[in-house]
Chain A
């Protein structure tokens, strides 16, 4: 995992410097681009293992750079921006960002997100059984065990858990989850999501009020972390 290459697309020299120091001291190879155009060019010439993208670029809006990249680039993209409105975050996630971090950010948090994104992109596990801590999910047999005891999940709860687990580390927006689990006509029916997330947490989390696995991303959605 060390020596993965990361391309930083950001027009602010201070941020690039900070990222360069942080990332290279953690054994990443860092290349930098100062605007959207050169970012796209660098990414095309030397496709990196991961891209860190700013949204407020001087030439092309970051959201468009993101869309453009996603036409061919499959590795993780983490958006790192000062924009923190629901709309910006959800748009970026819909445009194919794996993750979104608002500036100012904790470098520890950024490194953790980078590592998760890289790990998940490199291990295409489509195995039928998924295990984390005291939980075991058997997708083939629709079975969930906690501490070796069977947890009774309804069909909807199981699909919800499955969706979250298969997108580990990624923020899934409310509307995305509703569409995937309940169908297009339920995109606005957030009440279902609220209730089923709560039920699922009660069944698999040790402390449903301080969840370890199913994290709430306020205003945006949910993220599964194992």
Chain B
């Protein structure tokens, strides 16, 4: 039956209906010596019912008419004529036709109801998802807003009692909160771009060496208390990638590493090419995460349990989306340094890799 389910186009549905009726009738005709013509009606009715389960009403109607005619012509005595002798046979023929049709109508109805229930369930599910999303977003928004509101309120109404040092502390909190809000808005925009399928990847030649140093300098503040190790060949070839997306991915992962690991730990970023695969390996020697959380960290708004930080649970799901837009894969694992590693693997084709020497020789 699963094969029939795939037959969506009307003409092929009609064709299959007609063929199945003809074949069944043919088989019945061969064995008609052993089978009374009334039993044959039941066999044909069975075929029409089966067709009704998978096909549209029109195909069932065709099958019903055709099988009624065939039954009448070949099986109801007198044979090879549409003429019906007895009232009983005439009644049976009419009933046969009505039952076949009712069958078709009922199954079509049942299918419609099934579809509606399914749609309703999906709608309920999406409403639930939407509400969880809104909950998470408003939580993420309210936290920095509370911090800004509280700090400014304090600064405006409690000036006399605040020491200079505390004033500076409050202002720093306001600054941090606004940075957090700004990051959240950026992340939300990226998430909605991903969800709406609105990511158009624009591949262009990238100097990965340059990309990595831009990322590191843009995270200068965040990485102040960490050691950063970059392993990349100075002659690393140019690659065709979406610069903006890959930059965002590396920023998100290194940023995460910087906020989830202790001071003075090392963040290592290794870049290489293996069998036409562009590989970015980012590892820290922090404390890793539990194995059962590893599968969840790419989920939207998921945050690992042990720490409270500035993360908003979106960075990694954005990274995953951007890498998948490149047909690539991203995975996380606890490494031999007991920290966490991220491995990104993007498949490339040969004309998406260009050795630097090719260009030097040209000019």
Which residues does A use to contact B, with CB under 8 Å? 86, 104, 154, 156, 190-192, 194-195, 197-199, 209-211, 216, 218-219
Cβ-defined contact, B244 with A198, below 8 A: no
Which residues does B use to contact A, with CB under 8 Å? 178, 182, 204-207, 209-210, 213-214, 216-217, 230, 238, 243-244, 247, 354, 356, 359-360, 363
- Residue of B209, B210, B217, B354 with highest tally of chain A CB at under 10 A: B210
Known A104-B182, A218-B247, A219-B244; judge A195-B360 contact (CB<8 A): yes
Question: Which A residue's beta carbon lies closest to that of B247?
Answer: A218
Task: Pick the residue among A156, A194, A197 that contacts B363 (CB under 8 A).
Answer: A156
Known A86-B244, A104-B182, A218-B243; judge A198-B359 contact (CB<8 A): no
Cβ-defined contact, A210 with B213, below 8 A: yes
Task: Pick the residue among A86, A191, A216 that contacts B205 (CB under 8 A).
Answer: A191
Instruction: Give the CA-CA distance A40 to B207 in the complex, in Å.
Output: 41
New contact pairs (16) apart from A199-B360, A209-B213, A219-B247, CB-CB < 8 Å: A190-B205, A191-B205, A191-B359, A194-B205, A194-B206, A195-B238, A195-B359, A198-B207, A198-B209, A209-B209, A210-B213, A210-B216, A216-B210, A218-B243, A218-B244, A219-B244
B interface secondary structure, majority? helix
Instruction: Give the CA-CA distance A205 to B292 in the complex, in Å.
Output: 47
Question: Which B residue's beta carbon lies closest to that of A201?
Answer: B210
Known A209-B213, A216-B210, A216-B214; judge A192-B359 contact (CB<8 A): yes
Question: Which B residue's beta carbon lies closest to that of A216?
Answer: B214
Nearest chain A CB to B189 CB, angstrom units: 9
Instruction: Give the CA-CA distance A67 to B29 in the complex, in Å.
Output: 85
Instruction: Give the CA-CA distance A210 to B210 in the complex, in Å.
Output: 9
Instruction: Give the CA-CA distance A219 to B246 in the complex, in Å.
Output: 11
Task: Pick the residue among B210, B213, B214, B360 that contacts A194 (CB under 8 A).
Answer: B210
Of the A-B pairs whose beta carbons lie under 8 Å apart in the complex, a sample of 20, sorted by A's number, is A86-B244, A104-B178, A190-B205, A191-B359, A192-B359, A192-B363, A194-B205, A194-B206, A194-B207, A194-B238, A195-B356, A197-B210, A198-B209, A210-B216, A211-B213, A216-B210, A216-B214, A218-B243, A218-B244, A219-B244
Cβ-defined contact, A190 with B182, below 8 A: no
Cβ-defined contact, A190 with B247, below 8 A: no
Cβ-defined contact, B243 with A219, below 8 A: yes
Residues in B neighbouring A218, C-beta threshold 8 A? 214, 243-244, 247
Residues in B neighbouring A154, C-beta threshold 8 A? 363
Residues in A neighbouring B213, C-beta threshold 8 A? 209-211, 216
Instruction: Give the CA-CA distance A104 to B184 in the complex, in Å.
Output: 13
Residues in B neighbouring A86, C-beta threshold 8 A? 244
Nearest chain B CB to A17 CB, angstrom units: 15
Residues in B neighbouring A198, C-beta threshold 8 A? 207, 209-210, 356
Instruction: Give the CA-CA distance A216 to B216 in the complex, in Å.
Output: 12
Question: Which B residue's beta carbon lies closest to that of A211?
Answer: B213
Instruction: Give the CA-CA distance A185 to B247 in the complex, in Å.
Output: 28
Cβ-defined contact, A191 with B354, below 8 A: yes
Residues in B neighbouring A219, C-beta threshold 8 A? 243-244, 247
Nearest chain B CB to A163 CB, angstrom units: 16
The 4 nearest A-B residue pairs measured at CB: A191-B205, A194-B207, A209-B213, A195-B359
Residues in B neighbouring A211, C-beta threshold 8 A? 213
Residues in A neighbouring B217, C-beta threshold 8 A? 210
Residues in A neighbouring B359, C-beta threshold 8 A? 191-192, 195
Instruction: Give the CA-CA distance A211 to B209 in the complex, in Å.
Output: 12
Residues in A neighbouring B182, C-beta threshold 8 A? 104
Instruction: Give the CA-CA distance A219 to B178 in the complex, in Å.
Output: 25
Residues in B neighbouring A190, C-beta threshold 8 A? 204-205
Nearest chain B CB to A80 CB, angstrom units: 15
- Residue of A86, A191, A199, A210 with highest tally of chain B CB at under 10 A: A191
Nearest chain B CB to A183 CB, angstrom units: 13
Instruction: Give the CA-CA distance A198 to B244 in the complex, in Å.
Output: 19
Cβ-defined contact, B238 with A191, below 8 A: yes
